[in-house]
Amino acid sequence: MLEVAASIVAEVSKLRDEINHHNYLYHSLDSPELTDVEFDKLFRRLKSLEAEYPSAVTPDSPTQRVGAKPLEGFEQIRHELPMLSLDNAFNSNDLQDFDRRVIARLQDESQIEYACEPKIDGIAVSLLYEDGILVRGATRGDGTTGEDITHNVRTIESVPLKLMGTDYPGRLEVRGEIYIARSTFKSLNQQAEAEGEKPFANPRNAAAGSVRQLDARLTAKRKLTMFCYSVGLVERGELPLKHGEILQQLKLWGLRINPKLAIVQGAQACIDYYNRMQLDRDDLDYEIDGVVFKVNSIAQQTRLGILTRTPRWAIAHKFPAEEGVTELLDVEFQVGRTGAVTPVARLKPVKVGGVTISNATLHNMDEVGRLGVRIGDIVLLQRAGDVIPKIVGVEKKSENGKKILLPRKCPSCGSDVVQSQDEVIARCSGGLICQAQRQENIRHFASRLAMDIEGLGDKLVLQLVEAGLIKTAADLYDLSLTELVELERMAPKSANNLLAALEKSKDTTLPRFIYSLGIQEVGESTARSLAMHFGELEALLAADELSLQRVPDVGPIVAKKIARFFAQKSNQDVIEKMRRLGLHWPAIEVSAAADVLAGKIYVLTGTLNQMNRNDAKAKLQSLGAKVAGSVSKNTDCVVAGDAAGSKLVKAQELGILVMDEQALVDFLAEHNL
């Protein structure tokens, strides 16, 4: 038996090494030696062995990239060395001035050696390796503090879970840019459109949203990748003395670096590199928005130092936005999923950066006024990468130009279009009945923190809307088994489960119901404050703006939006239908309980076992506390569950009261919660 176990351990170890080697060849060197079928065979064999012998599984195994349960929120990570920003050069003169400053500070008249790399348009991240094992991934954040995204970076195939070789430092922080390849981005959007989902605006937005998913399984589906561009913290080991050589060393350890990296001498060579990249950018399978130049010598970097938040030894030379000129034929107004009414320019088709443009955003009516644009004018367009083109100026005024006017009625549902004095965005006031907002309203209504209707996801909401079965959230409670089973891929069991979930959701709470209505500016906390203050829905419906302003955290602007929502007859009708169909909640006794923690700021961290974070947050808020996401000197108390991290450490450093989960449970019990 021992002999068999030893042979299994040896095979598992060999398989892992082979898989890591071939991952490296594929993702870092772009020179695979195996076909996908051959690679999958190795991976399946390793997976089957680990399933049969669970004790053989280790965190750095290639099979462990995805598998952790979804997080409830992101922990804050304080970077041990700040992640700096870069100064920008906008033309060749700026770059030559940068070179002259470097020479002057170094007091060296010889040409400076620079490392040149394309500037990837992605998300900056930090990877921390301890003894060669990936232990943490974090976003850049504000450069000082980011978010812990370890569960997501582990899903990225180009990020090794274990470094290759043996000569790496004991602690090594690698920095780089996570992005989505253009080809992958195109496939993702084709899939989204096929499934009736909203496509991503551009690869950068897609990457940013992907690294901040609480469920790593969703991140894994986005096929993110990464280029490494520098190191941060280095302990118990040494690195080469030049930036370019450090990157080559990272490559030997299994990390992916940009193949366009070049080492050149002097400012003119940097300008030549920039010009080459500008010509090549459309042929790359990733978005770049410029070039980064860094003094190659680490010793010279140290002598040059940093200026506040930017290094004196590096600069980013951005590409200019691509521009074109064409005629503004018309302006139409579109209603977004949140009710925003946006002017969209219809243009005489023109090619900009190799793409034919016939539509462009005008953002809002303030922008229309600032530009002074009218229908019929010849306008200047600007496009950067895959970002939606925008009108940035008027090239020639039309003698008979037609003024652009904000519609008084919503082009989707005919409700009044309103615009608050504090906002530049005009909105449809139709709320619960607007067709354009229908899918988003119903999705929000069914979400976990609102009515928590299990099984009613985005795709099913879209199916129900497109089939004409629901026009408002109230119609959900009119659905029948016969209607549901006629939907594509809806079996009788699934239909019955949905009907049961809808029935269960009728028994709710007043704060949840208020939040589910999707009133602008009314989140969970405000919904709870409104419920605790008024005690019953009828009192809230009858409240005027002055009465609403007496609610904690409700100012004049939010009060106006709440009053306007409940004043709409269409919204009143939907709410009345919901109640007629059985939605109900227990009465709330308005008492002094809401003042117990009034003005106090609490922070939750770690894993709670006796309740989830959302329940704990709701109960603290019902006592008047504000529940924040990060610890500061203004924090009054930190509730620390199992495996509490940096927030607990910071609380202890600041001398803030720390409460464990049992103390919280006991405290809430004292107040009948």
pLDDT in tens, 626-638: 888 888 888 999 9
Structure-model confidence comparison of residues 33 and 14, the more confident one? 14
- The C-alpha atoms of residue 357 and residue 346 are separated, in whole angstroms, by 9
Contacts of 351 (CB under 8 A, 6+ apart): 324, 357
Ramachandran sector of residue 319 (left: φ over 0; alpha: ψ -120 to 50; beta: rest): beta
Neighbours of 336 (CB within 10 A): 15
Q: Side by side, which strands form the sheet with 637-640?
A: 626-628, 601-605, 637-640, 657-660
Exposed / middle / buried, residue 653 (Cβ in 10 Å: 0-12, 13-18, 19+): exposed
Domain map (residue ranges) of the chain: 2-64, 87-316, 322-396, 430-590, 592-670
> Is the pLDDT at 462 greater than 90, yes or no?
no
Q: Which of 233, 232, 216 is nearest to 149 (CA)?
A: 216
Q: Which of 383, 384, 333, 385 is nearest to 357 (CA)?
A: 383
Confidence band for 66, pLDDT divided at 50, 70 and 90: low
CATH fold group of domain 87-316: D-amino Acid Aminotransferase; Chain A, domain 1 (3.30.470)
Q: Could you tell me the two tokens for 158?
A: 């180009």
Max mean pLDDT range (21-25, 146-150, 581-585): 581-585
Among the listed residues 14, 41, 47, 119, the single catalytic one is 119
Q: Are 147 and 79 in contact (CB under 8 A)?
A: no
- 61-75, 154-168, 456-470, 481-495: lowest mean pLDDT where? 61-75
Contacts of 19 (CB under 8 A, 6+ apart): 39, 42, 43, 46, 62
φ/ψ of 58, rounded to 5, equals -125, 155
> Is the pLDDT at 531 greater than 80, yes or no?
yes
Q: What is the mean pLDDT of residues 59-82?
A: 71
Mean pLDDT over each residue of the chain, to the nearest integer: 86
Radius of gyration of the chain from its Cα atoms, rounded to whole angstroms = 29
> Is the pLDDT at 26 greater than 70, yes or no?
no
Residues forming a β-bridge with 427: 340, 418
φ/ψ of 386, rounded to 5, equals -95, 10
Confidence band for 625, pLDDT divided at 50, 70 and 90: confident
Q: Which amino acid does the sequence have at 22?
A: H
CATH fold group of domain 322-396: OB fold (Dihydrolipoamide Acetyltransferase, E2P) (2.40.50)
119 an active-site residue? yes
pLDDT of residue 318: 87
pLDDT of residue 457: 84
CATH superfamily of 2-64: Helix hairpin bin (1.10.287.610)
- 279-283, 464-468, 513-517, 553-557: lowest mean pLDDT where? 553-557
pLDDT of residue 308: 65
Q: Are 133 and 172 in contact (CB under 8 A)?
A: no
> Is the pLDDT at 52 greater than 80, yes or no?
no
Over residues 177-225, the pLDDT tens digits come to 999 998 888 888 887 777 666 677 678 878 888 888 877 788 888 889 9
Residue reference for tokens 């000129």? 325
> Is the pLDDT at 72 greater than 70, yes or no?
no
Q: How many residues does the chain have?
A: 673
Residue reference for tokens 């007496």? 550
> Is the pLDDT at 384 greater than 90, yes or no?
no
- The C-alpha atoms of residue 524 and residue 118 are separated, in whole angstroms, by 43
Q: How far is CA 441 from CA 19, 94, 432, 446, in A?
A: 46, 49, 7, 9
Assigned CATH class of 430-590 = mainly alpha
Assess if CATH 3.40.50.10190 describes domain 592-670: yes
Q: What is the mean pLDDT of residues 121-136?
A: 92
Q: Could you tell me the two tokens for 122?
A: 């992605």
- The C-alpha atoms of residue 164 and residue 20 are separated, in whole angstroms, by 8
Is 87-316's fold the same as 322-396's? no
Ramachandran sector of residue 348 (left: φ over 0; alpha: ψ -120 to 50; beta: rest): beta
pTM of model > 0.95: no
**β-strand pairing of 601-605 with 637-640:** parallel
- 167-181, 282-296, 363-377, 659-673: lowest mean pLDDT where? 659-673
Q: Could you tell me the two tokens for 179?
A: 């992005």
pLDDT of residue 4: 45
